[in-house]
A and B are shown apart, each in its own frame.
Chain A
Amino acid sequence: MRNNNSLLANLDWATVLIFLALTFMGWVSIYSAVYDEEYSSIFDMSQRYGKQMIWIILAIVLGFIVMLTDAKFFSAFAFPIYFLILIVLVGVLLFGITIAGSKSWFQIGGFALQPSEFAKFGTALALAAYLGRLNADLSQLKTKLVAIGIIVLPALLILAQYDTGSAIVFSVFVLVLYREGMSGAIMVIALIAAILFIATIYTEQMYVLIGLLVLFGVSLMFIKRHIINIMKLIGLFLIAATFVLSVDYVFHHVLEPHQTSRINVLLGLQTDLKGAGYNVNQSKIAIGSGGFFGKGFLNGTQTKYNFVPEQSTDFIFCTVGEEYGFAGSLIVIGLYLTLLIRIVTMAERQRSVFSRVYGYGVASILFFHFAINIGMTIGLVPVIGIPLPFFSYGGSSLWAFTIMLFVFLRLDAYRLNTL
């Protein structure tokens, strides 16, 4: 057994390097995105790039603190942390301030803190702690329900803050559940649901229902026609039909107009380039105009002249695409993919279920942010306002992601000491 006190030797440096690379690139990109000739120093504290530098330094300090914390603290205090965050989420509903339509911020001095960013971390911890118990078995209904409950509870509170984007992130825990033994059918069903969802919005619901009916008829000819099979098929058909009808209802009666129009723009049903599609279109122009090697540092015209709204936060990837081109984008995507695979591999080498589940939680959350954020800047996913991990401007998200990642690094460094 290696020396358990040598933290530095056990730390996964590859992950730390990727973390540092992404944070640094994010910082430079923020500098490009909000560059102002009057305040041309990247260290200027009055500008976002100056502030981001402070957030990065503080994030690294937080990372250190995490590394110095006893690894057992996180499993022991998983639930207290989770419940504390739930209380804070309720608190933000009562005492929070509203920024960009979401009541999800605490004003602390001149700084706005977004607790929902930390809720993902808390949920990952709680889920890991719950599934890490000796008698946890996901094939049992009760375990399933509790696990889903742990995930859904903070999501609902965040939804109540009108921060739909952050709430949707919690759906990614399905990956963790799948890894821990939940039926794969759940993912297939989700996929089919997504197809039906898009089909319903694309066409009249009547056509989708007719299509389902035809499918039902065709299936009847191919299966062995005894009563149980037929009943199953009818059941499936009824569930699918109900889903289609409710999607139509939700789309037209429940979703806010800006949400329906974002989905419409994504599906190409709405081409109002100056309206809802404006961000995405300008973002695609920015990235597309980058070419292979990009326009170079600070030479992005789309970027520099504010054509892309929210560019330092949700649309930060535009800066990469425009100034560093296809080559730069490839590097960033490569870094994220390496990081994700690395975390999964590391999770698999954990001896404790807690550490493994937690590792999958971290990977899933990072993956979801990565997929949705970059996906929306290149027009593959609807505009959902969630940050690109380590990259986007903002203290809350950077700190939350850093803590989340470093807790896992701490657990990993400690893995040889358990049992």
Chain B
Amino acid sequence: MKKNLYATRQNIIIFIFMAVAVLFVGKLFYLQIINTSYKLSSQNNVLRYMTQFPARGKMFDRNGKVLVYNESAYDMMVTPKLVKQMDTLEFCRLLKIDRHNFLARFKKASAHSRHRASIFLEQVSKEDYAYIAEKLYHFPGFYFQARTLRKYPSPIAAHILGDVGEVNQKNIDDNHYYKSGDYIGKSGMERHYEEAVRGKKGLKIVMVDVYNRAKGSFENGRYDTLPVAGKDLVLGLDAMLQQYGEELMRGKTGSVVAIDPTSGEILALVTSPGYDPNLLVGRVRGANYNKLLEQPEKPLINRAISGTYPPGSTFKLVNALVALHTGAITPSTQFSCQGKSSSPIKCTHSHQSPLPLAPAIENSCNSYFWNTFRNILYNHKYHDLKDAYEDWQNLMFSFGFGKPFDTDIPFELPGNVPTRAYFDKVYQGSWNAMTVRSLAIGQGEILLTPLQLANEVAIIGNKGFYYPPHLIRKIGDGDSIDPSYTTKRYTGIDARHFDVVKNAMRDVFEGAHGTARYNKIEGIDAGGKTGTVQNPHGEDHSLFIAFAPFDNPKIAISVVVENAGYGSQWAAPIATLMIEKYLTGDVKRKELEEKILTKNFNEEANAEQQ
């Protein structure tokens, strides 16, 4: 037997074995005990957080008629890594997209993530979905995710209802609720009541394997949350009236605003030209939005709240009230009128002279209101003219002029009440009644929105108070709406002064010389006032404001038809047709209705240009 020379070397070899084992234990200790990031990674690997989208709340009009509801649509999702060799041509044919489009979308999805699903094609319609879903097994890596789309049974009130679109980066940054690809109300009611209407997203945690295949719920769904459906909204809007208003305004540029004076609820808010709300739904939203944006008629602008006009003769009512309130005139104060040779403002109406307040309103006498306005400013009650003006200006604000109502009507413009400070600045302190005389007849710097005009007439109908105009009537199962919407606001004018003005407005219809005498509504006692607003850019704007029934008004309305001439000619018929429709549910004056419906200023204007 050979001598065992190197027996001690076994120790070195055993040492090597042990060293490796110790090294492994050390590394395992680090991986399993010290470093916790691996636990996280293993969860991220295996858990997929699947958002459960709630149904958005529906919207109804005051009579329970559906204005907006939901329709299922399906987003096609893709996980690029799972996509296998496939018949691209057939796939494109199914989805109705071209190859170039397919590649671009696929590239975008791959850039987002190869392993996670992202939206490949938004909002495939229900019909297409049914057809494609059957064939989808040919195309691994693609699947459908259900979403809801807004649908409008009748294409009305687009501006009021607003639209829904994908969130932008700002939305995501501002509110952590939103994730890329979520929908959010972009305008109108959808935007203002977003939080109530959207509901609450649910979360389903699913365990998946390396191929992203669902393997069951995580911890038996202990951490899952169910989506909470959005709340339904009931609007004060009357769908029938809104639709009628939109029909009457077709072919005309302008707006109709109808308010329920007893609550401030908006019954109709028509702007013309408008658009079909179904255009701004789903995949086509972006493209259609840009098209609408480029149209010269600017259909996206809501003229009822962001159009500002000088109120013209309709403003004489307000000046009369201020004058009565400050004692500048009494109802029996008379002024003479020299008609077209009146100075400094000529009067275009022919009537008796001199005349007291009521017939001056009935006849819309310019001279009378110039004198009235002068009396307001030169009032011994005040230290000087500027103080008197400041009081006038503050009374204007008390009517809701010069500032937005700030309720749930988005993009509302304030209009303009020129202030004392403004004139001081423009005229370097030296100005007087002559300088600002246009205000006497509602021209010049004073600008009102049609909404403010309608509110003005609601105030007169109510004899001195109003509720801020708003759209909402009920949220969900009766959540309280903003209490400021249902709080009465009073003007600075004593209630007793309203009767004379209100009565004079009845004479506008009933009087022998009433400017709207040809627009009387059979069987309805109403009050109104015409306005013909000078427009430096072209034909005068036709204005009319009215309320009815006379004693307990249920509707207050303002109508503006741009570049249409006299208030009595176009605005008054539209306003009275609306009142008739709202109060009786039907229109008896078919001839007048037909004349209005077929009138198309916009086409005529285009024809003239050509």
A305-B46 contact, Cβ under 8 Å, with A134-B2, A344-B10, A371-B20: yes
Q: Which of A289, A340, A367, A378 has the most CB of B within 10 A?
A: A289
Contacts of B290 in A (CB 8 A): none
Q: Contacting chain A: which of B52-60, B133-141, B207-215, B376-384?
A: B207-215
Q: Which residue of B lies closest to A380 (CB)?
A: B27
Which residues B106-136 have CB closer than 8 A to chain A? 114-115
Cβ of A353 under 8 Å from chain B: yes
Query: For the complex, is A392 an interface residue (Cβ under 8 Å from B)?
Result: no
Q: Hey, which chain B residues are within 8 Å of A325, CB to CB?
A: 32
Q: In the bound complex, do residue B38 and residue A329 qualify as a contact, i.e. CB atoms below 8 Å apart?
A: no
Q: A348–B13 contact, CB under 8 A?
A: no
Contacts of B12 in A (CB 8 A): 178, 184
Interface residue A341 (Cβ < 8 Å from any Cβ of B): yes
- The reply to whether the CB of B484 lies closer than 8 angstroms to some CB of chain A is no
Contacts of A341 on B, CB cut-off 8 Å? 14, 17-18
Name the interface residues of B516-545: CB closer than 8 Å to any CB of A. Answer: none
Contacts of B24 in A (CB 8 A): 333, 374-375, 378, 380
Which residues of chain A have C-beta atoms less than 8 A from B29's C-beta? 326
Contact indicator A179/B9 (Cβ below 8 Å): yes
Give A283-300 as 1s and 0s: 1 = Cβ < 8 Å from B's Cβ atoms. 011111111100000000
Write the nearest CB–CB distance from A271 to chain B, whole angstroms.
14
| Chain A positions within 8 Å of B223 at CB level | none
Complex: A390 Cα to B114 Cα, angstroms: 38
Interface members, chain B 41-63 (any A CB < 8 Å): 41-43, 45-46
Given known contacts A179-B6, A348-B7, is B32 in contact with A321 (CB within 8 Å)? yes
- Complex Cα spacing A337 to B155, Å: 80
Interface membership of chain A positions 399-419, coded 1 if the CB is closer than 8 angstroms to chain B and 0 otherwise: 000000000000000000001
* A302 interface contact, C-beta 8 A: yes
B-side contacts of A345, CB under 8 Å: 10
Task: Name the residue on B nearest A136 (C-beta).
Answer: B2
Residue in A178, A292, A336 whose beta carbon sits within 8 Å of that of B21 in the complex = A336
**Contact residues, B1-43 vs A (CB, 8 A):** 1-2, 5-7, 9-10, 12-14, 16-18, 20-21, 23-25, 27-29, 31-33, 35, 37-39, 41-43
Residues 169-201 of chain A: 1 if any B CB is under 8 Å from the residue's CB, otherwise 0?
A: 000000100111100100000000000000000
Bound complex: CA A289 to CA B38 (Å): 5
A344 with B13: CB separation less than 8 A = yes
A143 sits at the interface (CB 8 A): no
Of chain B, the residue at the smallest CB distance from A287 is B31
Across the interface, which residues of B come within 8 angstroms of A175, CB to CB? Answer: 13, 16
> Provided the pairs A179-B10, A289-B41, A291-B33 are in contact, do residues A378 and B28 lie with their beta carbons within 8 angstroms?
yes
Shortest CB distance B112–A (Å): 15
Q: What is the bound-complex CA distance between A181 and B8, given in angstroms? A: 11
A254 at the interface (CB under 8 A from B): no
Residues of B within 8 A of A292 (CB): 32-33
Task: Check if A333 sits within 8 Å of B2, measured CB to CB.
Answer: no
Among candidates B13, B25, B39, residue contacting A179 with C-beta atoms closer than 8 Å: B13
Complex: chain A residue closest to B11, CB-CB: A344
Range, interface on chain A:
35 or more
Q: Within the complex, what minimum Cβ distance (angstroms) separates B561 from chain A?
A: 66
Give the residues from 360 to 379 in chain A that come closer than 8 angstroms, CB to CB, to chain B. Answer: 360, 363, 367, 370-371, 374-375, 378-379
Nearest A-chain residue to B212, judged by Cβ:
A305
Q: Do A178 and B38 touch (CB < 8 A)?
A: no
For A83, what are the chain B residues with a Cβ–Cβ distance below 8 Å?
Answer: none
Question: In the complex, what residues of B have CB within 8 A of residue A344's CB?
Answer: 10, 13-14, 17
Once the chains bind, are A288 and B39 in contact (CB under 8 Å)?
Answer: yes
Is B21 in contact with A285, judged by CB distance below 8 angstroms?
no
Closest to A282 in B: B45
Closest residue to B39 on the A side, CB-wise?
Answer: A289
A326 to B16 CA separation, bound complex (whole angstroms): 22
CA distance A353 to B6 in the complex (A): 12
- In the bound complex, how far is the Cα of B94 from the Cα of A292, in angstroms? 53
Residues of B within 8 A of A180 (CB): 6
Least distance between A144 CB and chain B CB atoms (Å):
15
Q: Is A306 an interface residue (CB 8 A)?
A: yes
A102 within 8 A of B: no
A307 within 8 A of B: yes
CA distance A275 to B209 in the complex (A): 18
Are A337's CB and B17's CB within 8 A? yes
B218's nearest neighbour on chain A, judged by CB, is A301
B38 neighbours in A (Cβ, 8 Å): 284-285, 287-289
Shortest C-beta distance, B47 to chain A (Å), equals 8
- Please determine whether A419 and B31 come into contact, CB atoms closer than 8 angstroms: no
B17 touches A301 (CB 8 A): no
B17, A306: Cβ atoms closer than 8 Å: no
Contact, CB under 8 Å: A348 / B10: yes
Given that A289-B38, A419-B1 are contacting pairs, would A321 and B13 also be in contact in the complex, using a CB cutoff of 8 Å? no
List, in ascending order, chain A residues with CB within 8 A of B114's CB. 274
Q: Is A231 an interface residue (CB 8 A)?
A: no
What separation, in Å, do the CA atoms of A334 and B210 have in the docked complex?
32
- Chain A residue nearest to B20 in the complex (CB): A371
In the complex, which residues of chain A have a beta carbon less than 8 angstroms from the beta carbon of B207?
Answer: 301, 305
In the assembly, what is the distance between CA of A306 and CA of B211, in Å? 8
Q: How far is the CA of A206 from the CA of B6 in the complex (A)?
A: 41
Residues of A contacting B14 with CB < 8 Å? 340-341, 344
* Residue in chain A with minimal CB distance to B42: A289
A181 to B45 CA separation, bound complex (whole angstroms): 52
Chain A stretch 336-357: residues in CB contact (< 8 A) with chain B: 336-337, 340-341, 344-345, 347-348, 351-353
Closest to A176 in B: B13
CB pair A337–B21 under 8 Å, yes or no, is: yes
Provide the residues of chain B in CB contact with A347, threshold 8 Å.
Answer: 10
Can you name 30 A-B residue pairings with CB atoms under 8 Å?
A288-B38, A288-B39, A289-B38, A289-B39, A290-B32, A291-B32, A292-B32, A302-B45, A305-B45, A305-B46, A305-B208, A305-B209, A307-B46, A307-B209, A322-B42, A326-B32, A329-B32, A333-B28, A334-B21, A336-B21, A337-B18, A341-B14, A352-B1, A367-B16, A367-B17, A371-B20, A378-B24, A378-B28, A378-B31, A379-B27
